[in-house]
Amino acid sequence: DQQVKQNSPSLSVQEGRISILNCDYTNSMFDYFLWYKKYPAEGPTFLISISSIKDKNEDGRFTVFLNKSAKHLSLHIVPSQPGDSAVYFCAARGGATNKLIFGTGTLLAVQP
Amino acid sequence: IAGITQAPTSQILAAGRRMTLRCTQDMRHNAMYWYRQDLGLGLRLIHYSNTAGTTGKGEVPDGYSVSRANTDDFPLTLASAVPSQTSVYFCASSIEPNSPLHFGNGTRLTVT
C-alpha cells in the first residue's frame, strides 16, 4: 500500500518554463513533507521541505505547495533549467513510526 | 569532504551468499538509515538507527540485519542473499531523527 504517490513517472519541460511535480499522500497523520532530487549514480539530495502548519514554502526557483484537505503537494520550479533534469522524490513523515516514506519518483527532463 | 561513504559501489553476488554493505559517515550525525531503491517502488526504508547502540525496523526489514556499534558506522548484512534483494542500496544519515537526510551514492547489488 503506497502511502505517498507520484502518479507521473516522467515529465518533459522546455527550458525557461515552469515545471510542476505532483505528489499525493493517504495518511492524514503526515505532518512534514520534503522533496529530494536525484542525479544518476548519486544519492538523493535534500531540496525543500514544508510543515503541515504552512501551505507554501519558497526557496529561490523552488516552491512547494501543500493542500492538506486534498492530501496533495506540488513542487514548482521556475524557471526550469537543463541542470534541473533529475528524478524528484517527494517524502512524508508523521504518524506511528515518524520515519520518512518516499514516493516512487518523477523523472524531469528540461529541454534546452 | 564530509559526507557518507558506501562500499562497495557495486557487487554481483550468488544467491545464498552472505554480504555486508558498508556505510561510514564523518558528520557525527546521530541517526542513520538504510533504504533500497527499486523501479516503480521508490525508496523503501529497511532499517534505521536513531543513535549509536540502537536500531529499528523499517518498511522492508526481512532478510536484512544491521548493527550500530559506534556513531560513524552502520553496516547492512544480507545473511543469505536472494534474487529479490537485487536493488540499489542507499545509506543515509541525519543530525537528529527528524532532520533532513543526507544520502551516500549507493551500492548497486545484483543477486544471481
pLDDT at A48: 96
Write out chain B residues lying below 8 Å of A35, CB-based.
Answer: none
Cβ–Cβ below 8 Å for B43 and A4? no
Does the CB of A34 have a partner CB in chain B at under 8 Å? Answer: yes
How close B64 gets to chain A, by Cα (Å)? 18
Q: Which residues of chain B fall below pLDDT 50?
A: none
Residues A68-89 pLDDT 10s: 999 999 999 999 999 999 999 9
Residue pair A62/A81 in contact (Cβ under 8 Å)? The answer is: no
pLDDT at A97: 66
pLDDT at A94: 85
Tell whether the model's pLDDT for residue A6 goes beyond 70.
yes
Per-residue pLDDT band for A18 (boundaries 50, 70, 90) equals very high
Cβ–Cβ below 8 Å for B90 and A100? no
Tell whether the model's pLDDT for residue A64 goes beyond 70.
yes
Residues A19-51 pLDDT 10s: 999 999 999 999 999 999 999 999 999 999 999
Residue A88: closest C-alpha in chain B: B42
What is the residue-wise DSSP string for B22-86?
A: EEEESS--SEEEEEEEETTTEEEEEEEESSTT--EE-SS-TTEEE--SSSSB--EEESS--GGG-
> Worst-scoring range by mean pLDDT, A27-31, A62-66, A105-109?
A27-31
Class of residue B61 by CB neighbours under 10 A (exposed 0-12, middle 13-18, buried 19+): middle
* Cα separation values, A16 from A11, A36, A50, A108, A111, Å: 15, 21, 25, 14, 9
Write out chain B residues lying below 8 Å of A104, CB-based.
Answer: 40-42
pLDDT at A2: 77
Q: Any idea which residue has 519541460 for its cell?
A: A13
Cβ–Cβ below 8 Å for B103 and A104? no
Phi-psi region of B95 (alpha: psi -120 to 50; beta: other; left: phi over 0): alpha
Half-sphere exposure for B98 (CA within 13 Å, toward CB): 10
